[in-house]
Amino acid sequence: MITGFALLHPTSRVWIFQAENELSQQQEAACDLYIKRFLDSWTSHNQDIMSYGGVYHHRFLVFLVDQTQTSASGCSQDKLMHFVEDLEKHFGISFLGRTQVAYRNTKDENIKVMPLENLKEAYHSGTIQDETLFFDNLVDTKLKFENSWEKPLKESWHKRFI
């Protein structure tokens, strides 16, 4: 069952999937439509899941489940993973790769990605700095998503790769 973002409890569970490339307007519109269809039928042990989802910044698929209503069982989480895999196949875009990290370019505010293994080199060359905002796709609650999805490199888990 789809609900509004604002109606979800702060402890709602979050899943974030990052595309390697920015989605086109057509891809984003299609993803939003597929996401709405998926969420409308997403269940856990035959109970509707109060959920929300969408495309953020033309690159991130974000899904939230209010577990104060119905928790997302292992099977329902598997359904989400299969849905994302199906989107990957349909669009020919990877959403499940975990070797790329995303950050806001300090010069133009655009979102850029780079391989995690290149962070040290980018830091030493000045491409990224301690204040560069990185996306922490490991946040796991709505509250963390709202308050610390984007955080400076110096406060992020990414810093340990410098």
Cα separation values, 160 from 35, 114, 119, 133, 139, Å: 34, 16, 10, 15, 17
Say what the pTM is: 0.93
For the domain covering 5-91, report its CATH number: 3.30.70
CB atoms within 10 A of CB 162: 14
Q: Is 157 left (phi over 0), alpha (psi -120 to 50) or beta?
A: alpha
Q: Where are the domains of the chain?
A: 5-91, 100-161
What pLDDT score does 158 carry? 94
What does each of the 162 residues of the chain score in pLDDT, given as a tens digit? 788 899 999 999 999 999 989 999 999 999 999 999 999 988 778 878 889 999 999 999 999 999 887 777 788 889 999 999 999 999 999 999 889 999 998 778 899 999 999 999 999 999 999 999 999 999 999 999 999 999 999 999 999 999
What pLDDT score does 65 carry? 93
| Secondary structure of 48-81 in HEC code, one letter for each residue | ECCEEEEEECCCEEEEEECCCCCCCCHHHHHHHH
What pLDDT score does 48 carry? 81
Residue 83 half-sphere exposure toward CB, CA atoms < 13 A: 24
